């Protein structure tokens, strides 16, 4: 069974631009969560979607948004990029609703904001 | 502020020894506990999860949970150099939002 895939793997953007990241979960998984990982803050929860509904949202500004499609694929968008948004963005999928701990991570998208 | 604390390490153990990794958490309402392994430059990989007090074993790995003392630990028996990685502890409470520790770096030397 194929794992979680994320595109693109690497991205360089300029301050003020916006970016959209994509995640395809493991086949049959309906829960997708997004995380930001930085050396300074560690791994931080952004949001979780299940069956196209946002279930939880972490403590991030409204510039961070996401959505999930009927095929469970998910996208996250960051508008008005700031230098501090440079990070590894990880997507994880789970077969269970509201169980984001039992999840499987994708390889991540490395975003660099200059 | 819900916190999950881990010693950043590095924890250095010889090959074949038992590695003991610890994690404490602040939220008494925490319900489930997870250990992830993250190799440098890679994404986290789920190793084990535990919900109830006591021990849970899976191969060379044992997770131990003590809710009264609010700590969870991971024991790795017969440590191998391939176990060298950062180990992340994650805790989930009633809000279903997981909180991750910063991780403990483990080095297993031959």
Q: Is the pLDDT of residue A1 over 70?
A: no
Residues 6+ apart with CB under 8 A from A39: none
**Among B30, B47, B90, B82, which residue's Cα sits nearest to residue A33?**
B90
CB–CB of B47/B39 below 8 Å? no
How far from the centroid of its chain's Cα atoms is residue B107's Cα? Answer: 15
- The confidence score (pLDDT) of residue B31 equals 86
Which of A30-39, A73-82, B47-56 has the lowest average pLDDT? B47-56
A93: number of CA atoms within 13 Å, CB side? Answer: 24
Region A55-79: mean pLDDT is: 96
Q: Is the pLDDT of residue B2 over 90?
A: no
Q: Is the pLDDT of residue A21 over 80?
A: yes
Q: Which of B90, B96, B102 sits opposite A98 (nearest CB)?
A: B96
Q: Is the pLDDT of residue B105 over 80?
A: yes
Q: Is the pLDDT of residue A42 over 70?
A: yes
Inter-chain touch A44–B88, beta carbons under 8 Å: no
Inter-chain touch A102–B46, beta carbons under 8 Å: yes
Phi first, then psi, for residue A39 (nearest 5°) are: -60, -35
* Partner A contacted by B93 (CB < 8 A): no
- The confidence score (pLDDT) of residue A99 equals 62
Q: Which of residues 44-83 of B touch A (CB under 8 A)?
A: 44-46, 49
Which of A59-68, A95-104, B94-103 has the lowest average pLDDT? A95-104
- The confidence score (pLDDT) of residue A101 equals 58
Q: How many residues does chain B have?
A: 110
Task: Give the tens place of pLDDT for each residue, B65-100.
Answer: 999 999 999 999 999 999 999 999 999 887 778 899
Which chain B residues have a beta carbon less than 8 Å from that of A102?
34, 46, 49
Inter-chain touch B98–A102, beta carbons under 8 Å: no
Q: Which of B92, B101, B103 sits opposite A101 (nearest CB)?
A: B92
Residues 6+ apart with CB under 8 A from A15: A81, A82, A83, A113, A114
Percent helix, strand and coil across chain B, each to the nearest 5: 5, 55, 45
DSSP three-state, residue A106: coil
- The confidence score (pLDDT) of residue B95 equals 77
Task: Give the tens place of pLDDT for each residue, B17-43.
Answer: 999 999 999 998 888 899 999 999 999
């Amino acid at each position: 069974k194929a794992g979680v895939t994320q595109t693109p793997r690497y991205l360089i953007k300029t301050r003020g631009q916006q970016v959209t990241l994509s995640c395809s979960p493991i086949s049959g998984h309906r829960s997708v969560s997004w995380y930001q990982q930085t050396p300074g803050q560690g791994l931080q929860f952004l949001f979780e979607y299940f069956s196209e509904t946002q279930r939880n949202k972490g403590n991030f500004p409204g510039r961070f948004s996401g959505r999930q499609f009927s095929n469970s694929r998910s996208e996250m968008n960051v508008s008005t990029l700031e230098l501090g948004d440079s990070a590894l963005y990880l997507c994880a999928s789970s077969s269970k609703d509201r169980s984001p701990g039992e999840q499987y991570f994708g390889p991540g998208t490395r975003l660099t904001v200059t | 502020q819900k916190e999950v604390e881990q010693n950043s390490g590095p924890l250095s153990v010889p090959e074949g020894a038992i590695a003991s990794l610890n994690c404490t958490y602040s939220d008494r309402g925490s319900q489930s506990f997870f250990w992830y392994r993250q190799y440098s430059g890679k994404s986290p990989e789920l190793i084990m999860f535990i919900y109830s007090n006591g021990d849970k074993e899976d191969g060379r790995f044992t997770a131990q949970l003590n809710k009264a003392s609010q700590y969870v630990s991971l024991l790795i028996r017969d440590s191998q150099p391939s176990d060298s990685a950062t180990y992340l502890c994650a805790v989930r409470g009633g809000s279903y939002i997981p909180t991750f520790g910063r991780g403990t770096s483990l080095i297993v030397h031959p």
